[in-house]
Amino acid sequence: MLTRSQSQAKTDSDTCEVFAVDKEHIARARAALLEDSVVEDVTDLFKILSHGTRLGILRALSTGELCVCELAELLGLSLSAVSHQLRDLRRLRLVAFRMEGRLAYYSIREPFILKLLDEGVGYVTASQKARVK
């Protein structure tokens, strides 16, 4: 059922000219909303992925297990800087950690993260190609 307000909404080129609500649309959309705790965890995941160094680490680990030294060399960063980023990735259980002697090795723990990154790269690449045309 569609309801309309008597007052006309502010007219902008990118907004409705009148206020109209379809209660079935609202009910369907409300059912798709997430619980607050899930929203918070998903937000944390995307915050983690919003840092270039962490993306570089994940892409590097997509090739296989690497030690912190190898990641630091590859990314041109200090051991401390890489370790700091790895702690954030471990906190969300995206990477696994193991010690072998005095070397700390990391690997991808959750393969879904690589699929998510690949989807993002695919979207950005396609979007960039579309802008060039």
The total number of structural domains in the chain stands at 2
Q: Which two tokens stand for residue 75?
A: 């990314």
* 44 and 98 part of one domain: yes
* 58 and 122 part of one domain: yes
* 44 and 8 part of one domain: no
* 71 and 8 part of one domain: no
* 51 and 66 part of one domain: yes
* 29 and 9 part of one domain: yes
* 53 and 13 part of one domain: no
Q: Are 94 and 107 in contact (CB under 8 A)?
A: no
User: Which domain range does residue 92 map to?
Assistant: 39-132
pTM score, two decimals?
0.75
pLDDT of residue 11: 46
Residue 67, CB half-sphere, CA atoms under 13 Å: how many?
8
pLDDT of residue 39: 94
* 55 and 77 part of one domain: yes
* 26 and 77 part of one domain: no
* Residues near 20 by beta carbon (within 8 Å), at least 6 away in sequence: 2, 3, 4, 5
Of the pLDDT bands very low, low, confident and very high (cuts 50, 70, 90), residue 3 is: low
**Residue 40 backbone class (left: φ over 0; alpha: ψ -120 to 50; beta: rest):** alpha
Q: Which CATH number characterizes residue 67's domain? A: 1.10.10.10
Tens-digit pLDDT profile for residues 5-49: 544 444 457 888 899 999 999 999 999 999 999 999 889 889 988
* 21 and 51 part of one domain: no
- Asked if residue 108 has pLDDT above 80, the reply is yes
* 50 and 104 part of one domain: yes
pLDDT of residue 2: 54
* 44 and 107 part of one domain: yes
| Total count of residues recorded for the chain | 133
Tens-digit pLDDT profile for residues 36-89: 999 998 898 899 889 999 999 999 999 999 999 999 999 999 999 999 999 999
